């Protein structure tokens, strides 16, 4: 084999390797961009919590796979109305018993999640499953959950409990398919 043929083969192999690497890099970039768009602030949280960006992206992709396997359903109008009425009673109950009302709000959000088809066995699983469609409201849910834990120890102030109720309301409204003001939401559910 002549040195010209060998050099030509080496150049072709090198070009193919570079093209393959560029294709892989472009694929990773597209995957990252899609995950950022889908998960919003949850993407950054996952990257901060995982040992590497690649591990975080694998985690988020696993969440998508788990979520795709769920049999989620929209609530019927009469169910949404029934839950909205329960929320109104919980909110009214806050005036007299803020601690109990906060626990009721947590239970009601969990009940609506279960009714929609989300597994509700533990908080971390709920957050992961919600992150796929409700990433923008997860910080509200986390904050409410943390305040409710303080409430369970009997150490939450009335202001903290009020904030927890407001945080629960954001996710509750989204799960019902409405804006937090009680109007039907546009977009996803």
For 124-148, give the DSSP string.
Answer: HHHHHHHHHHHGGGHHHHHHHHHHH
- Cβ distance 53 to 43 under 8 Å? no
- Mean pLDDT along residues 142-149: 96
pLDDT at residue 110 tops 60: yes
Point out the least confidently predicted range of 11-25, 32-46, 48-62: 11-25
Percent of the residues in the chain that have a pLDDT greater than 70, as a whole number: 92
Among 54-63, 83-92, 93-102, 173-182, which stretch is predicted with the lowest mean pLDDT?
Answer: 173-182
**What is the Cα 68 distance to its own chain's centre?**
13
Report the pLDDT averaged over residues 103-117: 96
pLDDT averaged over the chain? 88
Distance CA 76, CA 73 (A): 9
84: confidence class by pLDDT, cuts 50, 70, 90: very high
Q: How confident is the model at residue 12 (pLDDT cuts 50, 70, 90)?
A: confident
3-state helix, strand, coil in the chain (%, to 5): 80, 0, 20
**β strands within the chain, DSSP E:** none
pLDDT at 27: 65
**Neighbouring C-beta atoms of residue 2, cutoff 10 Å:** 7
Q: How much is the pLDDT for 5? A: 81
């Amino acid at each position: 084999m002549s040195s010209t043929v060998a050099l030509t083969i080496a150049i072709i192999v090198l070009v193919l390797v570079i093209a393959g690497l560029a294709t892989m890099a472009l694929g990773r970039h597209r995957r990252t961009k899609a995950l950022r768009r889908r998960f919003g602030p949850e993407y950054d949280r996952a990257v901060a919590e995982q040992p590497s960006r690649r591990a975080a992206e694998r985690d988020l992709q696993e969440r998508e796979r788990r979520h795709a396997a769920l049999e989620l359903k929209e609530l019927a109008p009469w169910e949404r109305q029934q839950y909205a009425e329960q929320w109104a009673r919980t909110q009214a109950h806050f005036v007299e018993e803020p601690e109990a009302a906060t626990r009721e709000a947590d239970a009601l959000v969990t009940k609506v999640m279960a009714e929609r088809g989300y597994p509700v066995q533990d908080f971390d699983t709920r957050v992961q499953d919600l992150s796929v469609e409700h990433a923008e409201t997860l910080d509200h849910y986390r904050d409410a959950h943390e305040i409710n834990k303080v409430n369970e120890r009997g150490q939450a102030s009335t202001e903290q409990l009020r904030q927890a109720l407001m945080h629960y309301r954001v996710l509750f409204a989204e799960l019902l398919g409405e804006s937090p003001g009680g109007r039907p939401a546009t977009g996803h559910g």
